[in-house]
Structure 1
Amino acid sequence: MSQAFEKRHSKEKIGGSIQDTSIVRKFTILFLLMSVIPTVVLYYFYEQIKEYGRIQLTTNEFNVTLIFIVLGVIVGYASMREVLSQLVQVTESNRRALESILSPERIRALGEEKNEIAVLAQSFSAITERLEENVRSLELARKTLHAVMTKIGQGISNMQNIDTFLGLILETVTDGLGGKVGALFVLEEDKKTLTTRCVYGSPVEPHRQKPVEVREGTTLYSVLTSRRPLLFPELPADIKETKSFAYLSLTPMVCAPLIMKEKTLGMVIVSGRKVPEMFEEDEVNLLANVAAQTAVSIENSRLNQDMEKTYFETISALALAVDAKDRYSRGHLDRVAEHCVMIARKLGLDAQDVQTLRDAARLHDLGKIGIPDEVLQKKGSLSDQEWALMRKHPEIGESIIKPIRSLNHLCDVVRHHHEKLDGTGYPDGLKGDAISPLVRITTISDIFDALTSERPYRDRMSPAQACDELRKMGGKIDQDIVEAFAEALSEHRKM
């Protein structure tokens, strides 16, 4: 309260000194000088002329001269007053502008200044400094926003999934704000828990983080319900106590909710700064804008995932319908998928590859829907013409799923699961490294299930016998994968 009083008092002192005290005093002195000095000088010259007779002035001439001098003084007075009035107005406007940008100490210093021109100059200097600072801040914000949008724009074309995209957004905005750690959380359907989707600036693995419960009255609840960004100069107590947020325990912290229309989808948090400064208002607003666009991306991704799931389930149902036609191969797709997953995990493939193998295995024989039943269910040997027709099913399967962008990543396995490393496979006769690891795994799983399934022309083999047959195929298939599969089968039987 005392600071506010001092600040107000100092401001009044600046305005008062210009309007009431100093200018009036100086104006009076100026007026006296303009009035007395010309009169004295004129009288002096008159006496000189009168005494020496060099220049003679009549009384009328003197009166006229005096009148002109007086008029000049009056005009000068009016002009000077007008100029000074304008100066007072400018100074008063300047004083009001200073109220929002100068500290009380600086205002007191200006109030003690006796020279109004100096006060005005210093005031304008202070305003100019603030304007330059604002321009620099705006330029920094513009460059930061440009960098964020450019990097995100470049990443969109290379984006493989929504998590990659969200990670790119988080990395870019955290660096753009000069933050140390960033995290993005998604609100689950129950609206009561937050799941860590991606983390930047910390070795924490998002999928290993436990979901965080959102309770009423907590900081997280405030962020989600406020529908606006919140800045915390000091770390809230409940955040400190949340073990899942230990890596975010840096100050200052700024949080922004992910809002899509009326739906709150989660939040993004940036904590700590690489420079010892508080987040500026424009930086907080930048995070809010990025959060809003991120929410749109998440919602669109969810809609796309629902659509992709529908596509896959529909096409998978077609593949299962084909599978069910033949009692000898019934269940083949599910068994091949199970074996593919077993091999993939034994080889240490990542979760995305495991899922791709599972999905591709369920669709790998989809193309048989285009093969006549009399060929598919023929008990005897196929003729050359029938065999040529059967060999078309990988291409038919690919042609069915290729138009669906979300299933494009399965095309390689669907088309090439009958290729052999020595180039004797079909439909493209690929050799060696041209055959991807996922295709090699599917090929081995497909052959294994055929060997261990009953056929009208032979009995089914045991898993051990089937593995021996796979080994006998030598360079046609990947023997390293065969051995990994044999080990996985052995471990599975022991379980």
Structure 2
Amino acid sequence: MPQEILEIIAKAEGDQELLDSFLKKAKDLINYDWWGMYILNEETNQYEVRAKSNEAKKIETNIDFLIEDGIIDWVLRNYKPRFISPITDNLLFFIIPIVIAKKPIGFVVFKISSKQAFNKNLHSLSLQATLLGLMFQGTMYRESVWDKVNKLKFLMEIAQKITFSTNVDRLLESIMEVLNNTVRTEYSCISLLDENKKLILKKSSDFKWPIKPTEVCYFVINHAKPIHISDFKQDIRFKNSMEPSNLRNVLSFPLETQNTILGALTLYNRLGLPDFTKDDFIFLFALSNQAALAIKLISLYDKLKKAYKETVLALAEAIEAKDPYTRGHIERVTRYALMLAKEMKFKPSDIETLEFASLLHDIGKIGISEAILKKPGKLTAQEFREIMKHPVIGEQIVKKVSFLKKASIIIRQHHERFDGSGYPDGLKGKKIEKLSRILAIADAFDAMTSERPYKKKLNIEQALEEIKRNKGKQFDPEICEVALKVFG
């Protein structure tokens, strides 16, 4: 390497100074109008602009033409700088190839006004161009590594979300977010088969595009294998397609687990690159497999949850059969309790626990004498003491069922009062579970607004006035305010 180049490297404090030195020397030798540096991306086998002057953007299409027409490859194969003038344009370019060990890695292009006689310093300019080419190639490699690291990070995040996800919509939103942050496209979508094997578009990155699954999605599902189309218009399989006219390239994967097709993950028109890359394919293959597994697990969870709920409803019906005066009470109390919890923005798992507890809050009455439950008049003190046992009996029954263990605590506490005067444990204030405090208001509100043999029902306004009067006594003040808003 000439002494001059070694001195430039030694003096330069960073990449920018190397670039500035190169451009100053080029300006002295060539007197260019504008310039651009292109480096070969080995993954896509495409030349990418890594640095340029502002004016270069105006004539980028001319450079693309020189690349597509093979002129740039011809210059690179000859290893020597050349003047190039496209036939169709009155332009003159000077191109310096960047070659390492007889392997072209890029080129620098200068737009000039006229051919000039260059002196021997041109050789040192070529060496500097090579040095810069190596610098930008290194940057490209680093970007590629970081891209792979980020994709791996997103896959790990999805894997974690899969472990804890119990909702398909939220899972699909997470997957779309990952796609938007990794493989940039004009459009991406996830389509799932419903119970009748009809394909439904579930999530989309842009609803200006079709709002139903495309023919590519159906093709992937029917053939149960991925498809990559580099030039959609030239693909004879979709010759008569009704797809949008601006489709260039497509990458689609079936969502498959245990030989069952659940849907398709499809991406259209890669942005930032001419086409989808091998890395895109590997990443999306892994993502689609994880997504399919997660969707299947959520489906199994939903079926299990449905079976649980059917069990709970069967128990609730057993309560109503024992105590005819509670018929409809359980359903209404559950509805009121869930209205309050949703208004208070409880998380889904807590709302589910409250639903189970509300449906079973009176299950302990199974252990109470029918004579007491069906007595039309006022209860004696002894009879009321028997009735007061039903929260504890209910807890004892329910806590033996593993998925109802949390609900059993709510059932035990649903007759506790905020001021500590309730039963069975005389708990006070925040020592009572918040879900129990919600259930207490829902239960009381329905009792007040329902007809019973021993009392007349109150209208809504009277019941709300009663809740207001017992704020801080029987009921949690915060939940009282919510009840006044929701039930009013």
TM-score scaled by structure 1? 0.58
- Residue 228 of structure 1 corresponds to 226
Q: Secondary structure at the match of 1:255?
A: strand
Q: Secondary structure at the match of 1:224?
A: helix
Task: Output the amino acid matched with 1:390.
Answer: H
Q: By how many angstroms is 1:473 displaced?
A: 2.1
Task: Output the amino acid matched with 2:315.
Answer: L
- Residue 362 of structure 1 corresponds to 359
Q: As a proportion of its length, which structure holds more strand?
A: 2
Q: Say whether the 8 Å CA contact 2:191–2:263 is kept in structure 1.
A: yes
Instruction: Tell me the alpha carbon deviations over residues 418-456 of structure 1, each in whole angstroms, 9 at most, x when there is no partner.
Output: 233323334565544565665444222211222344445
- Residue 84 of structure 1 corresponds to none
Q: By how many angstroms is 1:179 displaced?
A: 5.1
Bigger Cα Rg:
1
Give me the whole-angstrom Cα distance separating, in 1, the residues matched to 2:487 and 2:189.
41
Give me the whole-angstrom Cα distance separating, in 1, the residues matched to 2:314 and 2:72.
78
Give me the whole-angstrom Cα distance separating, in 1, the residues matched to 2:227 and 2:373.
62
Q: Say whether the 8 Å CA contact 1:223–1:229 is kept in structure 2.
A: yes
Q: Say whether the 8 Å CA contact 1:365–1:397 is kept in structure 2.
A: no
How many aligned residue pairs are there?
367
1:471 partnered with 2:477: no
Q: Find 2:455's aligned residue among 448, 459, 475.
A: 459
- Residue 196 of structure 1 corresponds to 202
1:424 partnered with 2:418: no
Choose 413-422 or 296-305, whichever is displaced more: 413-422
- Residue 14 of structure 1 corresponds to none
Give me the whole-angstrom Cα distance separating, in 1, the residues matched to 2:230 and 2:78.
39
* Residue ranges of structure 2 left out of the alignment (5+ in a row): 1-44, 48-66, 81-98, 107-133
Give me the whole-angstrom Cα distance separating, in 1, the residues matched to 2:407 and 2:190.
30
Give me the whole-angstrom Cα distance separating, in 2, the residues matched to 1:409 and 1:195.
37
Give me the whole-angstrom Cα distance separating, in 1, the residues matched to 2:352 and 2:143.
47
Q: Say whether the 8 Å CA contact 1:368–1:396 is kept in structure 2.
A: no
Instruction: Tell me the alpha carbon deviations over residues 208-240 of structure 1, each in whole angstroms, 9 at most, x when there is no partner.
Output: x9995557xx33323433421435677998454
Give me the whole-angstrom Cα distance separating, in 1, the residues matched to 2:209 and 2:313.
33
Give me the whole-angstrom Cα distance separating, in 2, the residues matched to 1:420 and 1:106.
84
What are the equivalent positions in structure 2 for 1:17-166 lying under 5 Å apart? Answer: 105=71, 108-109=74-75, 122-123=101-102, 139-140=145-146, 142-156=148-162, 158-159=164-165, 161-166=167-172
Cα separation, partners in 2 of 1:142 and 1:363, compared to 1, 3 Å: same
Give me the whole-angstrom Cα distance separating, in 2, the residues matched to 1:400 and 1:296.
31
Q: Find 1:219's aligned residue among 216, 221, 236.
A: 216
What are the equivalent positions in structure 2 for 1:93-492 lying under 5 Å apart? Answer: 105=71, 108-109=74-75, 122-123=101-102, 139-140=145-146, 142-156=148-162, 158-159=164-165, 161-178=167-184, 182-197=188-203, 213-214=212-213, 218-226=215-223, 227-231=225-229, 238=242, 240=244, 254-270=251-267, 275=272, 278-341=275-338, 347=343, 352=348, 358-369=355-366, 380-381=379-380, 383=382, 386=386, 389-396=389-396, 398-401=398-401, 403-404=402-403, 410=407, 413-426=410-423, 429-433=426-430, 438-456=435-453, 458-464=454-460, 465-475=462-472, 476-478=474-476, 485=483
Q: As a proportion of its length, which structure holds more helix?
A: 1
Q: Secondary structure at the match of 1:392?
A: helix
Q: Say whether the 8 Å CA contact 1:328–1:453 is kept in structure 2.
A: no
Instruction: Tell me the alpha carbon deviations over residues 335-378 of structure 1, each in whole angstroms, 9 at most, x when there is no partner.
Output: 21233355567x48589577665554223223444556566556
Cα separation, partners in 2 of 1:377 and 1:335, compared to 1, 3 Å: same
* Residue ranges of structure 1 left out of the alignment (5+ in a row): 1-99, 115-119, 242-248, 491-495
Give me the whole-angstrom Cα distance separating, in 1, the residues matched to 2:161 and 2:351.
25
RMSD: 4.8
Task: Output the amino acid matched with 1:177.
Answer: V
Task: Output the amino acid matched with 1:364.
Answer: H
Choose 351-360 or 253-262, whichever is displaced more: 351-360
Q: Say whether the 8 Å CA contact 1:440–1:477 is kept in structure 2.
A: yes
Give me the whole-angstrom Cα distance separating, in 2, the residues matched to 1:337 and 1:348.
15
Give me the whole-angstrom Cα distance separating, in 1, the residues matched to 2:320 and 2:153.
52
Instruction: Tell me the alpha carbon deviations over residues 247-294 of structure 1, each in whole angstroms, 9 at most, x when there is no partner.
Output: xx9986543221224332122244566745533122123112211221
**Percent sequence identity over matched residues?**
28
Q: Say whether the 8 Å CA contact 1:329–1:453 is kept in structure 2.
A: no
Q: Say whether the 8 Å CA contact 1:423–1:431 is kept in structure 2.
A: yes
Q: By how many angstroms is 1:322 displaced?
A: 1.7
Cα separation, partners in 2 of 1:186 and 1:250, compared to 1, 3 Å: same
Give me the whole-angstrom Cα distance separating, in 2, the residues matched to 1:371 and 1:210.
62
Give me the whole-angstrom Cα distance separating, in 2, the residues matched to 1:409 and 1:231.
52
Q: Secondary structure at the match of 1:459?
A: coil
Task: Output the amino acid matched with 2:178.
Answer: T
Give me the whole-angstrom Cα distance separating, in 2, the residues matched to 1:210 and 1:378.
66
Give me the whole-angstrom Cα distance separating, in 2, the residues matched to 1:358 and 1:136.
53
Q: Say whether the 8 Å CA contact 2:187–2:268 is kept in structure 1.
A: yes
Give me the whole-angstrom Cα distance separating, in 2, the residues matched to 1:196 and 1:310.
25
Task: Output the amino acid matched with 2:468.
Answer: R
Cα separation, partners in 2 of 1:399 and 1:344, compared to 1, 3 Å: closer
